[in-house]
Chains A and B, each alone.
Chain A
Amino acid sequence: MHRVLQDFADPFYFRQVLPDIWSGFLINVHMMVIAEALVLVLALVLAIVRGLPGRGAKPFRGLAIVYTDFFRGTPLTIVAYAFILGVPGLRYAGISNYSNEVYGIMALTVVYTAYVTEVYRAGIESVHGSQRMAARSLGLSYGQAMRYVVLPQAIRRVVPPLLNDFIGLQKDTAIIGAIGVTEAAAQGQNFASSYFNFTGFLVGAVFFIYLTIPLARFTDHLIKQRELRERAAMV
């Protein structure tokens, strides 16, 4: 037990490693915030495209399905390697000279957009058809009915699962570290290989937990609130 503590939670190393882990963790937060913002927008667009009616929209619906199927099925590690190692190798002027962090954000965005598209889609489908019918019967166009009636209800319903996916995204920023961005986990790894001590990992883990627990509690709170509202509506 003593050895475990010494290896994973040594007070001396703790003080020494803290600044490096913290600066790495800021990169995690940075990647996470940008990727989440992009995912929120792109996934909504894809979900709307996937629900478009009519024969004319069929190819677009098809593309959206292929996209979500492909990236939901591909491990993030593979996508991240493809971006961080593969894209610079292409030597295209426009896209091949970004930093690893930017490629990491792209990989996270591409993969999580596929998940979140499905979340949005479930939300859109959960809004009863009579709502859309009522909106259309007032003369609102398809787009207006979507924007003012369907989406506001759909998005409210999917906030808890969305937050859940974002907790996943936060943690997966560490995978990007393994492939070439010096974020918190990679800092811990560097430290471990220099000092043969793993305290850095513990510090990194604590930072991640500090970030996810409030989000998890907030999600619980929203779910509870909705349950109460629904129960009240039933009386």
Chain B
Amino acid sequence: MNANGHFVALEGVTKRFGDLEVLRRVNLTVEEHNVVCLIGASGSGKSTLLRCINLLEKVDEGRIVVDGEEITNGQVDVNALRRKIGIVFQAYNLFPHMTVLQNVSLAPRKVRGLDRETSREVAMELLRRIGLEDKANEFPDRLSGGQQQRVAIARALAMNPRLLLLDEITSALDPQLVSEVLNLVRSLTEVGMTMIIATHEMTFAREVSDRVCFLDGGVIYEQGPPEQIFSNPSEPRTREFLARIIEAGRL
């Protein structure tokens, strides 16, 4: 907890790619054990926002505080920070030359410093939890997209992160595979995992979030509890976005 009592706090965060401002003076706070969903069209800055929080992208202006520590002053131990913050990507990014078990146990062994046997047990326990223990010795390309994404989530969880960032993790999946991944995420909310989720799954966002943020053009236009954002948004842009979503049958 930092001085203001927030687990994660972004203050005036700006990120540019060349002349393009992808994030503009973003302010956002997240409390521990809360789930915050980021919604908005593709290119609105959701992914960049997540990547800034675990320093996969460098922030140009503003500051980010995680767990009482300012991470944007250039002095933070990047590897130590990333141990606390897990991220799951849209494209799974599993390591194709390793088995499922090796994928999940690599970081516990090399980063947490567990011995081979313990890291294996940690990984097997997680695979049991996600219902894929029978795939432990398969290579990722033998698994369906949904299974691969569940393994990617287990891989992130194997580091015991304090915060989990989910970057459109169902966007690359066939519709019938989406629910198995969302069910896993749902089970994480039940055990109080702190999460920031960029998503296009509005029904899901409405169900699991404590707060929803609507981004457009790198700006958080509106944020609030899901009932307010989805039922009674105050900003015209939010209304327009939601109207398009409803039209597309996604809510």
Contacts and interface: CB of A to CB of B under 8 A. Distances in A.
A190 interface: no
A97 interface: no
B82 A139 contact: yes
A138 B111 contact: yes
- Interface band, chain A: 10 to 19
B159 A139 contact: yes
A5 to B, nearest CB: 53
B93 A133 contact: yes
Interface string B118-134: 00000000000000000
Interface in B136-162: 141, 155-156, 159
Contacts of A139: 79-80, 82-83, 107, 111, 159
Interface residues of B, number: 23
B106 interface: yes
Name, among A131, A134, A135, A233, the residue most crowded by chain B CB atoms within 10 Å (CB to CB).
A134
Interface string B90-115: 01011111000000001100110000
A151 to B, nearest CB: 10
Interface string B17-58: 000000000000000000000000000000000000010100
A130 B89 contact: yes
Contact of A131 (B82, B93, B106, B159): B93
Interface of A is mostly: helix
B87 interface: yes
B83 A130 contact: no
Interface of B: 54, 56, 79-80, 82-83, 86-87, 89, 91, 93-97, 106-107, 110-111, 141, 155-156, 159
Interface of A: 130-131, 133-141, 144, 148-149, 152-153, 156, 232-233
16 contacts: A130-B93, A131-B95, A133-B56, A133-B93, A134-B89, A136-B56, A136-B82, A138-B106, A138-B155, A138-B156, A139-B111, A140-B79, A148-B106, A152-B97, A153-B97, A156-B97
Minimum-distance CB pairs A-B, first 10: A134-B93, A138-B107, A139-B83, A139-B111, A139-B82, A233-B141, A137-B87, A130-B93, A139-B79, A152-B97
